[in-house]
Structure 1
Amino acid sequence: MSVTLNAHQFGRLLERTAGHIADEFIPALHGVRLEADDTFLYAIASDRYTLAVARYRHHGLDGEPFARTLPARALASLRRWAADQPGNTPVTVSLAENRLRFTAPQGEVGVGVDDGQEFFGWRGVLRGVIDQIPAEDGTTSPFPALDTRLLARWTDADHYLRLRVTADRQGALLVGEDFIGAQMPVRTRHDGFDTGLADDLDQVRTLWDGALAGAPAAAMPDSLPAARRTPHDAARTVPETAKGLLRQTLSSTHDLIEESSTSPTAVAAHASAGVTAWMAFRYLEALHHADPKLAARIVTETAEQLDDGAIGEFAHDAATAAGHDPNAWHEEFETKRAKQQTTPDEKPAATTSEGERAPATASPALAANG
Structure 2
Amino acid sequence: MSATLNAHQFGRLLERTAGHIADESIPRLHGVRLETDDTFLYAIASDRYTLAVARYRHHGLTSAPFARTLPARALASLRHWAADQPGGDPVTVTLAENRIRFTSPQGELGVGVDDSREYFGWRGVLRGVIDQLPADAEDPFPVFDTRLLARWTGADHYLRLRVTADRQGALLVGEDFLGAQMPVRSRHDGFDTGLADDLDQARTLWDDALGDAPAAAMPDSMPAVRHPSHDASRAVAETAEGLLRQTLSSTHDLIQETNISPAAVAAHASSGVTAWMAFRYLEALHHADPKLAVRIVTETAEQLDDGALGEFAYDAAAGAGYNPEEWQEELEAHKAARQGQ
Q: Deviations over 1:267-289 (max 9, x none)?
A: 21112112111211221121122
Contact 2:251–2:269 (CA under 8 A) maintained in structure 1: yes
Q: What aligned pairs does 1:246-261 form with structure 2 within 5 A after superposition?
A: 246-261=244-259
The corresponding residue for 2:221 is 223
Specify which of 208, 227, 230 is matched with residue 210 of structure 1: 208
Please tell me whether the aligned partners of residues 173 and 181 of structure 1 are also in contact (alpha carbons under 8 angstroms): yes
Output the CA distance in 1 between the equivalents of 2:334 and 2:279: 30
Tell me, in whole angstroms, the C-alpha distance in 2 between the residues paired with 1:298 and 1:171: 34
Instruction: Classify the secondary structure of the residue corresponding to 1:229.
Output: coil
Structure 2 distance, partners of 1:229, 1:185, is 39
Cα displacement string for residues 98-154 of structure 1 (whole angstroms, at most 9, x for unaligned residues): xxxxxxxxxxxxxxxxxxxxxxxxxxxxxxxxxxxxxxxx73112221110111111
Q: CA deviation at 1:305?
A: 1.8
When structure 1 is superposed on structure 2, of 170-179 and 333-342 the one drifting more is 333-342
Q: How well do the aligned residues superpose, as a CA RMSD in angstroms? A: 2.4
Partner residue, 1:335: 333
Contact 2:164 2:171 in 1 (8 A): no
- Deviation string 1:286-345 (CA, Å, 9 cap, x unpaired) is 1122112211221222122222222112112212222322222222222222232233xx
Q: Distance in 2 between matches of 1:269 and 1:226?
A: 36
Identical counterparts, % of pairs:
78
Match of 1:319 in 2: 317
5+ long unaligned stretches in structure 1: 1-137, 344-370
Residues 243 and 212 of structure 1: is their aligned pair in 2 closer, same or farther, counting only changes over 3 Å? farther
Instruction: Give the 3-state SS of the residue equivalent to 2:141 in structure 1.
Output: coil
TM-score normalised by structure 1 residue count:
0.51
Q: How many positions carry a matched residue from both structures?
A: 206
Tell me how far apart the structure 2 counterparts of residues 192 and 182 of structure 1 sit (CA, whole Å).
20
1:197 aligns with 2:195: yes
Matches of residues 1-370 of structure 1 in structure 2 within 5 Å? 139-187=137-185, 189=187, 195-343=193-341
Deviation at 1:253, TM superposition (A): 2.5
Shift of 1:260: 4.1
**Cα distance change of structure 1 residues 296 and 192 upon mapping to structure 2, 3 Å threshold:** closer
Sort the Cα spacing of 1:328 and 1:150 in 2 relative to 1 into closer, same or farther, 3 A.
Answer: same
Q: 1:178 to 1:341 in 2, by over 3 A?
A: same
SS of the equivalent of 1:155 reads helix
CA distance in 1, matches of 2:284, 2:168: 37
Evaluate the alpha carbon distance shift between residue 320 and residue 178 of structure 1 in structure 2; reply closer, same or farther with a 3 A threshold. same
| Structure-2 separation of matches of 1:167 and 1:190 | 20
Tell me the distance in 2 between the aligned counterparts of 1:204 and 1:325: 65
Query: 1:198 and 1:163 mapped to 2: Cα distance?
Result: 21
Alpha-carbon distance in structure 2 between the residues aligned to 1:293 and 1:192:
33
In structure 2, the gaps of 5 or more residues are: 1-135
* TM-score normalised according to structure 2 size: 0.55
Aligned position for 2:48: none
Moved more, 328-337 or 152-161: 328-337
